[in-house]
Amino acid sequence: MALRFQNDRTFPLPEIQNPNLEPRGSGGGSSGGDFRSLMTFTFVALALVLAFQYFKPKDAAPAPVAQTQQQAAQPAPGGQLASDASVAQTPAAAGAIGAAAESDTTVENEMYRIVFTNRGAQVKHWILKKYFTTDGKPLDLVQPQLAERFGLPLSLFTYDPALNTQLSQALYQASATGQLLAPGTLTFHYAQSGLDVVKSFRFDASYVITVETQVRRNGAPVRALVSWPAGLGDMEEFLPSSQTRSTVLTLSQLDYSIDGKHDSIKAAKVNGNATLDQPYEYAGVSDLYFAAVFLPDAPARTTLVTLHNAVDLPSNLSDPNSQKKPEPVLGLAVGDNSGYTRLRLYAGPKQMDVLKTIRAMGADGKPDGPSLESLIQFGDWLGIIAKPLYLALRWLRELLGPGSYNWGWAIIVITAIFNLVLLPTRFMMMKSSLKMMRIQPKVEGIKKKYAHLKMNDPKRTEMNAEMMALYKTEGVNMYGGCLPLLLQMPLFFAYFRVLQNAVELRQAHWFWLTDLSAPDPLHILPALIIVTMFLTQYMTPSPGMDPTQRRMMAFMMPVIFGFMLWHYASGLSLYWITGNIINLAIQVGINQSSMGREMHAIAARRAAKKGTSGSRVVEGRR
């Protein structure tokens, strides 16, 4: 390395041949030869003077801080970081190593742009180029307000608070400053008063980076863990109210895998500063769409420390003056209990195709352990429907093309197909309803037979048994009208799971909807849901239902569903309104059929009969 050559006092001088032994020129004559000898001697003497000035010993001085793209340190054969050759050092190997001023190094590939600071050898910004905040800026996984209070990613955690402060505030000597393109390596070195710290990072074309750290004090290893201390950058609720931000709380959790089994703990249930020595194949912090997960090289020697803090936030994020309550901020630190830590870190989106390619270290020391795909949690039972639904939506979206609206169209097409598949059950329901209307006079006769009994009279069970026997004889399924709704509900909850976990649907547009994973900002879809459900209920004959009860159901059910979806993902509302419009069209068609006309004729005769009997009662009272 050039820097070493400048400071090496024993670097050999170039070999110089005696000019007097040089053969004379063809012109002959002593004067010409002597002149040439003199000129050669003068030139060599000048070269010696210049060489002496260049190679003479210099006063010891700190090595320059700003070096660009230097050769990075590689692990020593024994698996430990070779600290004496990691970065450009001062001439005295045992002396202090550090930097005179703070500097930044930006590492970049197609996926991210990471800005390191040599103050603590930590990350100031971890920007994902393909994902954006609510105000349209590239998403930074480092949440600035939380990082300022609780620490920056890739800081070191020890059980000594004073040492933690020293490690995070020291000015490390960086192997490179300025711009560094992946693939590449970046190393930081700091040594002072017996403390020696080396942190090395390797980058490739993926979201994964490799981290190696070693801390020694007076030659003895110190257990220092690599941390991600303060949530993720898409937690916009922690931004100042003056900035454009989401008004929805971001739910976070601790994810980990032991013996191939994935598990998670909600942030509110995580105990802070708990030390857990378990064979973690991976462990990290995640929310609905992003994650920061450590994958240790030696799971059997892994130590995990949970970092749990809290920040007071308004209970209503739309109103900064509303009553405040503490919201959890989750972090963790992971390392090797031997004192030398080598692990990988995935920091990026919870995208299925990406996560399934990233595997933890197996028992054979190769990355063939469990993949990170389990970070996407569709649910144990709902996953049976939700995962195929997600794959179908993604396939259809790819078929439609890369347009930003195509996730919305994919939801509409899948919903339409599903409702067409359920069309036979719709006709079964209408046939059951028609049978119910035909036998309604017999049902009324049975009710009239037992009308004198009190509600708690044991003989009323005989009435129920007689009615059930009638339904069985006439082939009527009294619950047939609920079948289409019961079949739709699993898909409804599966859509809910997909919209909660598919990062591709985050900020996916569809006309006025700017984010299918967020509520409808204009509440157009919930209002349409209320209207279409009311029209469908009103147009559908209801056999045996009391008119007052029917009117209540016609109003109450739409209102309940509409307001339930008022604050949920607009993609869910898009699914429901698509189904409502299709069902309304089907009901209009059924009403025009012979079966529909018969049902409405029976309903009209019953209404007229009840109206006539009601008027007679009124006249009698008069």
- Helix (H), strand (E), coil (C) string for 423-480: HHHHHHHHHHHHHHHHCHHHHHHHHHHCCCCCCCCCCHHHHHHHHHHHHHHHCCCCCH
Q: What is the pLDDT of residue 49?
A: 42
Residue 49, phi then psi, degrees to nearest 5:
-60, -45
Q: What is the pLDDT of residue 56?
A: 43
Q: What is the pLDDT of residue 459?
A: 80
3-state secondary structure of 314: strand
Measured distance CA(235)–CA(246) in Å, rounded: 8
Torsion of CA 38, 40, 43, 46, to 10 degrees: -60
Q: What is the pLDDT of residues 95-104, one digit of tens each?
A: 799 999 999 9
Measured distance CA(90)–CA(97) in Å, rounded: 7
DSSP for 520-582, written as a single string? -TT-HHHHHHHHHHHHHHHHS--TT--HHHHHHHHHHHHHHHHHHSTTS-HHHHHHHHHHHHH
Residue 387, phi then psi, degrees to nearest 5:
-65, -50
Q: What is the pLDDT of residues 343-396, one digit of tens each?
A: 999 999 999 999 999 999 998 889 999 999 999 988 878 889 999 999 999 999
For 63, the token pair is 């090595």
Measured distance CA(452)–CA(361) in Å, rounded: 76
Q: What is the pLDDT of residue 51?
A: 45
Measured distance CA(182)–CA(203) in Å, rounded: 6
Q: What is the pLDDT of residue 276?
A: 93
* Residue owning tokens 């569903």: 561
Asked if residue 233 lies in contact with residue 288, where contact means CB atoms within 8 angstroms, the answer is: no
For the chain, what is the total number of helices (H) and then of strands (E)?
A: 15, 20
Q: What is the pLDDT of residue 524?
A: 95
Q: What is the pLDDT of residue 457?
A: 81
Residues of the chain with pLDDT under 70: 1-94, 242, 244, 404, 478-485, 542-550, 607, 609-622
Q: What is the pLDDT of residue 264?
A: 95
Give the contacts of 495 (CB within 8 A, at least 6 positions apart).
389, 411, 571, 572, 575
Closest CA to 570 of 502, 607, 521, 616: 521
Q: What is the pLDDT of residue 564?
A: 84
This prediction's pTM: 0.76
Measured distance CA(314)–CA(309) in Å, rounded: 17
Q: What is the pLDDT of residues 18-41, one digit of tens each?
A: 333 333 333 333 333 433 443 444
* Domains of the chain and any CATH numbers: 2-22+30-55 (no CATH), 93-369 (2.70.98.90), 384-439+476-613 (no CATH)
